[in-house]
Amino acid sequence: MKTLNDFNFENKKALIRVDFNVPLNENFEVTDATRIISAKPTIIKILEDGGSCILMSHLGRPKGFQEEFSLKHIAKKVEDVLGVEVKTVADCIGDDVEADAASLQPGQILLLENLRFYKEETAGDKDFAEKLSKLGDIYVNDAFGTAHRAHASTTIVAQFFEGKKCFGSLLAQEIESIKKVMETGEKPVLAILGGAKVSSKITIIENILDKVDHLIIGGGMAFTFVKAQGGKIGNSICEDDKMPLALEILEQAKAKNVQVHIPVDTIAADDFSNDANTQVLDINEIPDGWEGVDAGPKSRAQFHDVVMQSKTILWNGPLGVFEMESFANGTIELGNSIAEATKNGAFSLVGGGDSVAAVKQFGFEDKVSYVSTGGGAMLESLEGKTLPGIAAILE
């Protein structure tokens, strides 16, 4: 696995695929610079080697050239984060861009225009990728967020850099973290899967049953398992058509010696709103008119014990409707337990969608070992897929 350390970038132009798909407000100001900050170590390392950086990214989903999706809007923010001047150019391929790239001096940065102004980008067009490849000497992929896409700049372009391509430090860190859970994790290994739907997590569950010792199934998706086992779940969310699969998963887990932990109680609400009436109920005794919206006290205590026993922890998906303050406590307590286990030496990885939002919202970001920057890319990795953007560097 080639990383930045395998190259000396002195007098070299690095063509770096970053993920600068950041949120902007109505004045086109960056409202969350996490993705820019995450790319900083790679860019600075190359500049310190005496190289120059050509940064390429997409922003949003433009249809052709659309000013509101211009990467020029974010150039100032990139400059502030990096502390280095950032030159911009009005395109991402073509003669002018090639001339600008060619005149780049060591220590300088050029930010290309939005790759998705060309439909060839998402189509994975080879000619377009070849045009991009003319801009740099070494290709660096540091965009985990798009590594599951076989787009021109994330995957196809790598074909033109044989022996001259590597992972940036962010992408390398993401790969390492997943490996630490899925391959080399110290036992006992625990996966916590929460969130709304079983259907979106099935492939993950099936893949991780071979890797983990404990599996916590929490959040809304637990109700499909509870109902499948004959429990009364009232108005709780449930995917009836997935009930046979839920039973099958439990069978598989037993056969593979994986201990499955399903909540035993729940905070039930009489309405899907923050100021609904609530009561604590056994998870399989929820009357009609009530729905489970958060983990109950016994379940929280049980999950705490499992977390504290574990040496490797993967967390994907909240334990309740954490967006509503009244139903966030189960998720917060779980975050606290994971933080404590991490302090005691466990490795903890949080990844994929809403658990990342929860971790940030409740301030656990620095208390877990690693928070993944990729939603879909993380989920596909947990499903056991080799991401095209990663495979293209390894080839």
**277 Cβ contact list (under 8 Å, min separation 6):** 269, 270, 271
DSSP 326: G
Binding residue (CB under 6 A) for ligand AMP from 33, 90, 196, 264: 196
In the structure encoding, which two tokens stand for residue 182, read together?
Answer: 């899925």
Note if 335 is an active site residue.
no
As a whole number of angstroms, the distance between CA 69 and CA 41 comes to 25
CA dist 122 and 146 (Å) reads 11
Task: State the catalytic residue, choosing from 87, 232, 367, 376.
Answer: 376
Dihedral (CA of 101, 103, 105, 107) sign: negative
Q: 15 vs 314, which CB is nearer to ligand AMP?
A: 314
Query: Which CB atom, from 101 or from 321, has the smaller least distance to ligand AMP?
Result: 321
| Inter-residue contact 203 to 179 (CB < 8 Å) | no
Query: Which of 62, 124, 220, 351 lies at the binding interface for ligand AMP (CB under 6 A)?
Result: 220
- 13 catalytically annotated: no
Please, are residues 71 and 92 in contact by the beta-carbon 8 Å criterion?
A: no
Answer yes or no whether residue 351 interacts with ligand AMP by CB under 6 A.
no
- Catalytic residue (one of 2, 72, 87, 197): 197
Which positions from 248 through 267 interact with ligand AMP, judged by CB under 6 A? Answer: none
Q: Does 145 bind ligand AMP (CB under 6 A)?
A: no
Question: Closer to ligand AMP at the Cβ: 108 or 278?
Answer: 278
Total interface residues for ligand AMP by CB under 6 A: 16
Closest to ligand AMP by CB, 220 or 389: 220
Q: Toward ligand AMP, which CB reaches closer, 100 or 265?
A: 265
Q: Are strands 214-217 and 347-350 parallel, antiparallel or unpaired?
A: unpaired
Per-residue tokens: 96: 């002018």
Instruction: Kindly write down the DSSP assignment for every residue of 19-81, as one continuous string.
Output: -----B-TTS-BS--HHHHHHHHHHHHHHHHT-EEEEE---S--SSS-GGG-THHHHHHHHHH
Burial code (b: 16+ CB inside 10 Å, e: under 16) for 115-129 equals bbbbebbbebbeebb
374 class by beta-carbon count within 10 Å (0-12 exposed, 13-18 middle, 19+ buried): buried
For 162, the 3-state DSSP assignment is coil
Q: Select from 137-145, 209-217, 312-320, 370-378 the region that touches ligand AMP (CB under 6 A).
A: 312-320
Query: Does residue 219 touch ligand AMP according to CB under 6 A?
Result: yes
Q: How far is the CB of 145 from ligand AMP (least distance, A)?
A: 16
Question: Per the residue annotation, which of 220, 317, 353, 374 is the catalytic one?
Answer: 353
383 binds ligand AMP (CB under 6 A): no
Binding flag, residue 359, ligand AMP (CB under 6 A): no
Out of 213, 239, 354, 380, point to the residue binding ligand AMP (CB under 6 A). 354
Residue 17 among the catalytic residues: no
Q: Which residues contact 274 (CB under 8 A, 6 or more apart)?
A: 324, 325, 326, 327
Per-residue string for binding with ligand AMP, 313-332, x by CB under 6 A? ----xx-xx-x---------
Q: Which of 12, 35, 131, 300 is catalytic?
A: 35
For residue 234, the minimal CB distance to ligand AMP (Å) is: 11
Any bridge partners for residue 192, and if so which? Answer: 216, 315
* Minimum gap (Å) between residue 194 Cβ and ligand AMP: 6
Q: Does 293 bind ligand AMP (CB under 6 A)?
A: yes
Q: Which residue is nearest to ligand AMP (CB)?
A: 195
Is 61 among the residues known to form the active site? no
Cβ–Cβ under 8 Å, residues 17 and 140: yes
The residue among 136 and 296 lying less far from ligand AMP, judged by its C-beta, is 296
Instruction: Output the smallest distance, CB 325 to ligand AMP, in A.
Output: 12
Measured from the Cβ of residue 25, the count of other Cβ atoms closer than 10 Å reads: 8
Catalytic residue positions, numbered: 35, 197, 353, 376
Residue numbers of the site for ligand AMP (CB under 6 A)? 195-197, 200, 219-220, 237, 292-293, 317-318, 320-321, 323, 353-354
